[in-house]
Amino acid sequence: MRTLVFESLKNYTPPAGRRGLSWALTMNLWAKIWSTIVYMRQTLGHRYGGVWSVNPRGTSQKCSACGERGYRIERPGSREERVGGEYFYCPHCGSELHADVNAARNIIEVQQPSTVAGGTGT
């Protein structure tokens, strides 16, 4: 595996009631995990650790096949929009796949145009 791509949580704001000590500890833990992954990758000889952080904005609504806006559905074959549905459907091209797979493909797409290793995609 040459490159690891993660969602940047830098601009994420937690839901109301989750902004206390537990949120601060969670973000501190995430920073430690991030730095450990970079360190381990560098130790294995990967330049800059081969770790990227990208802005995940819109990656769960955009179709990874055609780029148009789609929506979540509960199960394959369903066309009823469902908030938090497990699958993604694009009415423009008919693409239907697991929502996490769709978002992951979009995150990779966001990272690829970046030219600075170890940097942040747009």
* Domain membership flag for residue 120: no
| pLDDT tens digits along 25-61 | 777 888 888 889 888 888 888 766 578 888 888 899 9
Indicate whether 121 belongs to any domain. no
pTM metric for this prediction: 0.69
> Averaged over 103-108, what is the pLDDT?
90
The verdict on residue 119 lying in a domain is: no
What does pLDDT average to over the chain? 82
The 3-state secondary structure of the chain reads CCCEEEECCCCCCCCCCCCCHHHHHHHHHHHHHHHHHHHHHHHCCCHHHHEEEECCCCCCCECCCCCCECEEECCCCCCCECCCCCEEECCCCCCEEEHHHHHHHHHHHHHCCCCCCCCECC
- The total number of structural domains in the chain stands at 1
Q: Over 50: is that where the pLDDT of 66 sits?
A: yes
pLDDT at 118: 47
